[in-house]
């Protein structure tokens, strides 16, 4: 199956998911937080997801005018609608926690940087669909563990299924598109993505990680190094660089 056909199939799944979704937060449903978790801490964490959905929707709106593949344009339009729907779910949940917090400036700057790339649009797709959405999905699983609210977990499960489809789109599209770029373009994107990842993860973890998370196992820098090596595997699988180009290593 060709890249366009695979993306068209993902677009069809998105249409079906939107038609089948019945999750709403009505006035009778309220968060149920453990007694030790202050509402303001929960709201502070969830707020960042709300702003991330809005930023990703903006990215999809911009990208669908920059990519040439018709199926990719269609998918990005559907994804933008899904991201705004996710934001509405988070916003309704946050209203029950007392309202959302402002976006942290450092995280907002990361999204702005991801949107500001002026080169090949593959870099922006990589940033949002492979890096930022991937980290968001991982971090959401962490939050699910320390914020065991049934309503939040229900929201998280619905959004997680959509986000997994978005990541799948990115992988299909990038594996077809990245090898068509020159080596210089690909490695420039790599350096940019590396800086973006380190900045985004430091800021996101500092904001929502539970206390003491990095006291064991070598600490913060060791954790970053191990995690980045896993991301290098992902980037290589997406064909951002070839095996013989993997000598480029991350430094925080």
What are the residue ranges in the chain where pLDDT is below 70? 1, 20-28, 203-220, 247-252
Q: What is the pLDDT of residue 251?
A: 45
Q: What is the pLDDT of residue 146?
A: 74
Quote the CA–CA distance of 110 and 181 in Å, as a whole number: 24
Q: What is the pLDDT of residue 81?
A: 94
Q: What is the pLDDT of residue 21?
A: 67
The model's pTM is 0.83
Domain ranges of the chain: 3-20+35-181
Report CA-CA distances (Å) from 72 to 63, 115, 166, 184: 9, 18, 11, 25
Residue 223: closest CA among 252, 249, 188, 245: 252
DSSP code, position 33: -
Q: What is the pLDDT of residue 23?
A: 64
Quickly list DSSP for 81-129: HHHHHHHHHHHHHHHTTT-PPPPPHHHHHHHHHHHT--S-THHHHIIII
**Proportion of the chain above pLDDT 90, given as a percent:** 41
Fold (topology level) of 3-20+35-181: Ferritin (1.20.1260)
Q: What is the pLDDT of residue 123?
A: 95
Q: What is the pLDDT of residue 171?
A: 94
182 exposed, middle or buried (CB, 10 Å; 0-12, 13-18, 19+)? exposed
């Amino acid at each position: 199956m060709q890249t366009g056909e695979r993306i068209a199939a993902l677009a069809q799944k998105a249409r079906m998911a939107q038609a089948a979704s019945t999750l709403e937060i009505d006035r009778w449903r309220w968060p149920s937080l453990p007694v030790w978790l202050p509402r303001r801490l929960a709201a502070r964490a969830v707020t960042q997801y709300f702003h991330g959905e809005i930023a990703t929707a903006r990215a999809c709106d911009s990208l669908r005018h920059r990519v040439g593949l018709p199926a990719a344009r269609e998918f990005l339009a559907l994804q933008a609608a899904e991201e705004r729907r996710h934001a509405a779910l988070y916003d309704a949940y946050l209203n029950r926690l007392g309202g959302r917090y402002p976006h942290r400036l450092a995280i907002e700057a990361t999204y702005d940087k991801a949107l500001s790339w002026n080169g090949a649009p593959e870099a922006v797709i990589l940033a949002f669909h492979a890096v930022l959405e991937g980290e968001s999905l991982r971090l959401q699983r962490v939050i699910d563990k320390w914020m065991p609210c049934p309503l939040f977990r229900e929201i998280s499960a619905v959004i997680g299924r959509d986000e997994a489809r978005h990541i799948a789109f990115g992988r299909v599209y990038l594996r077809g598109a990245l090898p068509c770029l020159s080596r210089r373009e690909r490695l420039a994107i790599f350096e940019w993505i590396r800086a973006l990842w380190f900045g985004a993860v430091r800021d996101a973890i500092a904001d929502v990680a539970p206390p003491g998370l990095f006291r064991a196992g070598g600490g913060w820098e060791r954790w970053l190094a191990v995690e980045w090596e896993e991301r290098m595997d992902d980037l290589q699988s997406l064909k951002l660089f070839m095996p013989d180009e993997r000598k480029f290593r991350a430094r925080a």
